[in-house]
Structure 1
Amino acid sequence: MSMTDLLSAEDIKKAIGAFAAVDSFDHKKFFQMVGLKKKSADDVKKVFHILDKDKSGFIEEDELGFILKGFSADARDLSVKETKTLLAAGDKDGDGKIGADEFSTLVSES
């Protein structure tokens, strides 16, 4: 399954473009722009599994840095600052990674 099976390629392109500048990433606006906020809980979990590149059941800090590439291969990497901000927003239990339920919460808070 690819991201475009779940989200509009046009919405993804617009959202990636909106945050092209380094240190401009805002996960709340991004999740709204790609249409993830409007998706069912099941679809949000499917997106989580696409972003969980190593299939560990978690999105670790190193994977978070590449989160935009999960939506579009030609997207930029997040800066260290953006990655740490996203991790802090999503890691509710303080274990240093984001699980599927934490990801769902992160999207729903957007």
Structure 2
Amino acid sequence: MAMTDVLNAEDIKKAVGAFSAAESFNYKKFFEMVGLKKKSPEDVKKVFHILDKDRSGFIEEDELKFVLKGFTPEGRDLSDKETKALLAAGDKDGDGKIGADEFATMVAES
């Protein structure tokens, strides 16, 4: 499944472009711009599974660094600071990774 099966390609392009500058990533604004906030819980889980590259059932820190590339190959890598901030925002149970439910909560809170 491709990200464009769930989200609008133009929305993805605009959202990723809005955060192309280093240290500019804001997950709340990004999830809203990309249209994820308006999606059903099922669609949010589909996006989670696309971002979970190693199919572990979690998005780990090394996968978070490439989260924008998960939406489009043109996306930039997040900086270490941005990656750690995103992990801290999503990792509610403190296990160092983001599960599907944590991801859904993070999207809903944005």
Structures share a fold, TM > 0.5? yes
Aligned equivalent of 1:22: 22
Q: Deviations for 1:18-70, whole angstroms, at most 9, x for unmatched residues?
A: 00001000000000000000000000000000000000000000000000000
Offset of residue 74 of structure 1 = 1.3
1:99 counterpart residue number: 99
1:39 aligns with 39
**In 2, distance between residues paired with 1:33 and 1:58?**
24
SS at match of 2:37: helix
Matched residue, 2:58: 58
- The residue type equivalent to 1:58 in the other structure is F
CA–CA distance in structure 2, aligned partners of residues 23 and 49 of structure 1: 25
- The alignment partner of 2:22 has SS state of coil
Q: State the alpha-carbon separation in 2 of the partners of residues 31 and 74 from structure 1.
A: 17
2:69 aligns with 69
How large is the Cα RMSD of the aligned pairs? 0.3
Question: In the comparison of the two structures, how many residue pairs are matched?
Answer: 110
Counterpart Cα distance in 2 of 1:7 and 1:16: 13
One-letter identity of the residue aligned with 2:20: A
| Structure 1 residue 15: Cα displacement | 0.3
Question: For 1:49 and 1:89, how far apart are their aligned partners in 2?
Answer: 19
Q: Distance in 1 between matches of 2:19 and 2:42?
A: 26
Is there any run of 5+ residues in structure 1 with no aligned partner, and where?
none
Percent identical: 78
Partner of 2:68, secondary structure, is helix
Matches of 1:75 and 1:38, distance apart in 2: 22
